[in-house]
Structure formats: structure tokens, C-alpha cells
Amino acid sequence: MTGGRELVMVSNRLPVDRVVEEDGSTSWRASPGGLVTAVEPIVEQLGCLWVGWAGSADERIEPFEIGAMRLAPVELSSEDVERYYEGFSNGTLWPLYHDVIAQPEYHREWWDRYQQVNRRFAERVAEAAAEDAIVWVHDYQLQLVPAMLRELRPDLTIAFFLHIPFPPSRLFAQLPWRKRIVEGLLGADVVGFQQVTDAVAFRMTVERFTRAPALGNTVVVPSTPDEGSRTVLAQEFPISIDAEAFAEVARRPEVRRRAEEIREELGNPRTLMLGVDRLDYTKGIRHRLKAYKELLEDGEIDPAETVFVQVATPSRERVDAYRQLRDEVEVTVGRINGDHGTIGRAPLVYLHRGYSREEMVALYLAADVLLVTPLRDGMNLVAKEYAACRLDERGVLVLSEFAGAADELRDALLVNPHDIEGLKAAIVRAALMPLEEQRRRMRSLRRAVDDNDVAHWAAGYLGSVLAAAEARRIGPGGERTEPIQVSTAFVPRSIDDRVRRLASAPSIIVATDFDGTLAPIVPRPQDARILPRAKQALDVLAGSPGTAVTLLTGRSLAGLAETGLQSGAWIVSGSHGSELEGLEARTGTSEEAPTEEEQERLRALARRFERVLGGETGVRLEYKPFGIAVHTREVPEPEQAEELLAAAVELGNAAGMHTRAGKQVREFSVRAADKGSVLQRIRDTLPPGPVLFLGDDVTDEDVFVSLEADDLGIKVGPGETAADERVPDPETAAAVLALLAELRTGVVIGSE
């Protein structure tokens, strides 16, 4: 997964807790934190060096090992903890990144210490990391480390993953040191986020506060005196869990017995509700308790038949806002039980402590309803853990729309936690949900978690990181100095699911546009080149049984040949359907050449275009067998380009031509043709089967609107579309094709 390179994990805390034995001796054990749980399978498989703080102030600890991990502690003083961790990280960044639920504080001394500690982490990594290592930096406490580390160790491949949300640009703008944070993150080769909205917010923020433009999901960092320009992948990689590991614990007889004991200890209520959170103001605990309290007061919930267990793991207890939150929660708990409890029966059980994985799984199995209602959350793995444990396909998940998990767990009961009435309605519905509906919803939730488990997350994220590492191995002549080691790139889960279904069809047509889809857009069309991964995938597919590969391009076939593309066994349609080759071998038919009258009309239009447009800077005329295309991609001013295209349309209309609009191009043809109609013609001659089509341009919409229910249309890049799905760039389009090729043939397609 890392191509033989050392993996270095960097986080604020080391993934261990100190254990003091009865005899006073100490040892270390792996901690049960969210990050550790998520990356544990990766670390066990690969081993790693882990750099972080051991958790005690003013203590120097020598490096040590636990299992597959080598741990390199970073020392923090009491003042570091106060200013860097409790101050800037949790008093400034945490509330700012969580939609300013609490008011952030901005203090220069906190910022100064944040810089100093980030520098200390970077220096520790630079000292300990092997040559050409992959360094994976985690979370908001260390956002300056990537740029600092790039300066210290340019040989390293640097990845950063933000486990919490990234705020909208208008909120991030409050931060006095906003540009420095953005520049720190841009030191990474890959910046990962939990949700699409987070990645989009980051790219917009980058464009607002730096000179680095965002192209799709890639940020182009301008060159400096010390380094040439480079790209940073800024994309969502939704984190997940080891679903099978949780399911395995849920199968254990002793854990299932413990679940029964929990219900017995609580008086065997008809409905057991559960909340599991860190005690944090972003988790919506107060809103949840308010809704539960009002339901008891309204008589909608019978306290004799219902128990709500709230587990609130201690968190940041030295921070004033957290101490105040604990006081408020505990007062509310007391009031609820005082008003609605009886001797030996409390409708609300509040547990301010952490539990082992086994005990948590037992709680999941015992609970009829899980309430996950944060006001803002990066992902929330508790929701996924609950689904993974419900082997009986029973239970109901009530989930906040503002948790990242809501993007995937669509069959939960989704709620707005600020809407107390709506939250109350969802709780009642969950408590009364029929078993058949429970099973339908839980089956869907479990499928979503299983399909996008931690292995899928790691493969996508580390696959992209390793692709960035491989890009650094290109020699001065363009040759690759080392072999490719990675075969996985991130494909959005919704597309992944549908591609897997397509791959099982007996017959399938794989159709795609060229420019902007298989080949990145370039200023000069003749310089475009198909991505090697896309070419390899299509060639593999074309050689597999029951698979037809079709290229639908606006280029003429001669213009396509200028790119050096050897299409081999593909069916190729050029000039938006006016030209077609490769079908003759399958059908015995051949294409009709343009008539003499059509050729004369084209010659007349060519003379007009050359007279009116030929001398304009940046205008390029492309001659095709059935038409002429006017390109303005190299015209210096956008306004001038639009005026020139408008003039071309006037000339084309006067000549009675069929006009077609594309990105910075207008095409004029003597015959009415479009990609949608030519694809229909192609599929009429082939065995029936679904179509996968990828395209980026306006002219590809003719195909998207013609697709049938079992087909899959994927828009590449921005813009309005009738396509079912969307990917950001040709690299991701190539990953989709590679996935299909691998699923259909077993041939692994490497990244380029």
C-alpha cells in the first residue's frame, strides 16, 4: 500500500495510554481513540513510525515500540499545553472549524506557541523519517507541519488529513493568521477531508487568500525561487471503520450476554435509547436532552418503559467551556430524573467515562435506538460502529444532517438537531418503528458501511498519496525512474457501487469523450494526450469478452490521430458523429463520404472564416470532413473570445450550417449529427447491454439525455449536466475506467 516506503504517522497525541500497575511500574497500551481505531488495521498491516506527544507535560520520554509501531515522543511543556493545545487548537481552531457554535478566541501568544510547537513536530519528523518516506500528518493541531516539513525534507511525500470539518471561507476569514494556515496545508502533496463540502470550502479559501488557483480538485501552487510549480490534491476521502472487526466482536457469546445483562440492569425497558459522545459542545448533547425531556413532559414517552443511556467520554476538562458544558449537562440530567424517575427506575442514565470496545459493542447490541445528533461533526464513527454491530438488522439510527456520516448513511432517520420538534418526532418514530422497516433501513446502513470500510478509505487515500509520490520519480527526460507500485485511486462510493453492477453484465458498452475526459484540457488541442492509465484500461476492456469500447469525440479522425492515439480495437466516432470507424468490421457497413455539394459549401464557409477570423490572435480553425470548428482557447481576453465566437455563429448561420456549441469552440457542419444519435446507432448494432459514458463538454449532454435506466453517465468536471454522477477531473475518470477493467478482467491497472 505504500510501495515499500516507510510510513510515518504524525498526530498531536501518540496512540497510547500509560498504565500504572499495582506495584508502581508503568507500561504503555494502545489507546481507544477515534483516530487509532480508524487507522489500526493499516498500522497492523504496514507498521509505522508514529510521532506525537505522549500526553504528560514537562516529561521527556525516549522512543519505544508497541506491536508494529515505533513511537517517537515530542516533548510539550505545561505552557505549550496551555497555549498551543488548550489555547489555539481548542480555543481558536475547534470552535471556528465547527461553525462558530462557540465563540473562538484570537490571541497572538497562542498563535506564536502554535507555530513553535508545529516547528518542533516538523523537526522531530525530519530527524526520524527515512529517506523518501511517506509522512501522514493528522488533524487541525498540526496544520503548519506540511510546509515546515517540505522545507526541511524535500525528499518526503507529505499527506495531511483533516478529521474535523473545514469551515466556509466567510468563517475562516475571521482567523487573523488565515493565510499562514492555508500555506501550511499547501506544503502537503495531498490534503484529505471528510466531506465534499469541506474540500470545496478549502479550495475556495485557497483561491481567496493565496495566488494558487484550484483546477477541479487540484490546487496549482505557483513556483518559488526554491521550487518549481507543483500540484496539491485537495479532495474528500470519507473515513470509516473496520466493519468486520466490530462485527466479529458483536458475534462473541460473552459480548451478547453482556448486552442482555445491560438491559436487565436497566430494568428490561421496552425501548432502550443510547447516545455515545465525547463531552463536547459540538455533539448536540444539550439539544438531545432537551428533546427527551420535552417528550417525557408531553407524555409521548413513558418513563416506565423507556431508558435513555448517555455515555459522555471526558474531554478537555481543563478548558472552561468544557467544564461549563459538563455542569449544564449534569444539572439537566438531575432535573430529568428528579421529575420523571421513581425509586429504582431512572429514565436517564448518564455515564461520564470511557469504555472498552467490547463494552461499547455490548451497548450497541442492547440499544434499540442510537441518537447521533451533533451540531457539526467531521464524520462520527459511532454511527457506523452501531450499524456494523447490528447483525440482526434491527435497531434504528437517528442521525444529524450535520454529521459527515449522513452523506453515506441515507437510510438513517436524518434530523436537524436545532429543530427540537423535528428531533422529538424522529425519536418517537424510531421508538415505534415496525420491525420490517427497521430491517430494511439497517440492511442499507450495514451495506454502506461494509462497502466503504476503513480498507476502502485507506486504499483511496494512500493510493492518491502514493500516486503523488510516484509523480516525484519522473526523470528529466520524462522517463519513470522506478516502477509503479500502486493500482488504486479514489472513486466516489456511489460510482463505485454502480460500476460494480455494470461489471457483472454479460455485455457492456464503454463510451467516452476525449478532450477533458481521457486527456486533460491544454491550450493547443494538438498537444493533448490521453492519460496512460485511461488508455491501458480501455485497451484491456476492448480485449475482454462482451465489451465494446467506443470513443465519441468532436475532433475529426485526422485531428485525433495528431494526438498519437492508437485506438486499436475501439469504435471511434469523430466530428460529433459525422465520422465513424471500427464499426465496419462488426456490421459490414462503411461510412458515406461528403457529397460534392457538401464539400463546396464547406469550402465557401472556410473562405469566409479565413477572411474574417484568420488574422485574429489565438483563433484556430480546425477543418473536418463534414465541418469546420472555430477554437478560441488561445485568445488572450475572454470577452474578445466570446465576440469572435458570436461572429463565427453569424457566418455559419448565413451559410445554412448546423451549429454546435462547446467549451471555447463552435462547430459548423453540413450534416445534422450528435454524439447521442451516433451512440444509439452503435448500440443498435451490438448485443444489448448497459452503457457507461464519460464526458465533460456541452456536446456530451446529447449522450447523457439519451441514456437508459441501467446505463451510467458520469460528468467530468464542473457545469450543469443531465448525468447521474460526477467526477472532478480526467485522472478520476481514468480511475473509474481502471476500476471497471479490474472488476471485469482481473487485470490491475496502475496509476500514472
Name the residues annotated as catalytic: 163, 377
Q: How far apart are CA 225 and CA 157, in angstroms?
A: 20
- DSSP for 706-727, please give it: T--TT-EEEEESSS----SEEE
**Quick check: 101 and 418 in contact, CB under 8 A?**
no
| Residue listed under C-alpha cell 462488426 | 586
Strands (E), 501-635: 508-512, 547-552, 571-574, 579-581, 620-624, 627-631
CA 709 to the chain's CA centroid: 26
Distance CA 716, CA 589 (A): 32
Q: Distance of CA 250 to CAs 284, 335, 388, 390, Å?
A: 27, 35, 9, 8
Write the DSSP string, 1-41.
--TTPPEEEEEEE-SEEEEE-TTS-EEEEE---HHHHHHHH
C-alpha cell at 166: 473545514
Measured N-to-C along each axis, helices 357-366 and 253-265 cross at an angle, to the nearest 10 degrees, of: 60
Instruction: Outline where 637-708 has alpha helix (H).
Output: 638-654, 675-684, 701-704
β-sheet bridge partners, residue 548: 509
Contact (CB, 8 A) for 400 and 379: no
Partnered with residue 398 across adjacent β-strands are 371, 413
Task: Round the CA-based radius of gyration of the chain to a whole number and report it.
Answer: 30
E strands in 534-613:
547-552, 571-574, 579-581
Cell 484500461 -> residue: 537
User: Which among 35, 143, 38 is positioned nearest to 89, based on CA atoms?
Assistant: 143
Q: How many other C-beta atoms are found inside a 10 Å radius of the C-beta of residue 443?
A: 14
Contact 296, 347 (CB under 8 A): yes
DSSP one-letter string for 43-67: HHHH-EEEEEE-S-TT-----EEET
The backbone region for 702, taken as left when phi is positive above 0, alpha when psi lies in -120 to 50, beta otherwise, is: alpha
